A = this chain, B = another copy of it.
Amino acid sequence: MSHIELLKNHELKATPQRLCILDTLQDCGHATLEDIQKIIRDKHPTLSLSTIYRNLSDMVQKDIVSEVKLANRKDHFEISKAKHVHLVCQKCGKIEDFLIETSDLAKEIERATGDKVLDDTLSFDVICKDCLSAK
């Protein structure tokens, strides 16, 4: 689905600013607010900071974009996609995605607590393959 459709499907106008933000997220995979500002400053120098704030916030509300919170790192934003685990390399800082079935854990929690598990976000701190082999 194109970003234009994506926005329209969520009752948001497909403005160049919003498309620019989405393109940036698409290119980066993960990006902090700072990253986004910096990248956008080149492509679209007149795009204001408040517009970035407002649109990220709106798109997170609409669940077009996800805000990813990780320990010891600035918050990242990304285009919402299927559930995955974040692998955060403590050496080089790279963040990999890893698709995984976590429903067994969810089931176990439901059994033990009586709660209903809705959704999950999971991250692991790792030393990535590249950093391991660089030693």
The answer to whether A116 has its CB under 8 Å from any CB of chain B is yes
Number of interface residues of A (CB under 8 A): 39
Task: Assess whether A117 is in contact with B112, with CB atoms less than 8 Å apart.
Answer: no
Assembled-state Cα–Cα distance A90/B121 (Å): 14
Task: Assess whether B109 is in contact with A129, with CB atoms less than 8 Å apart.
Answer: no
Copies in the complex: 2
Task: Assess whether A100 is in contact with B96, with CB atoms less than 8 Å apart.
Answer: no
Q: How far is the CB of A67 from chain B (nearest CB, A)?
A: 6
Assembled-state Cα–Cα distance A69/B66 (Å): 14
Chain A to chain B: the 5 pairs with minimum beta-carbon distance, closest first: A69-B69, A114-B129, A115-B126, A118-B125, A119-B125
Residues of A whose CB lies within 8 Å of any CB of B are 66-72, 75, 85, 87, 89-90, 96, 98, 100, 102, 105-106, 108-109, 112-129, 132
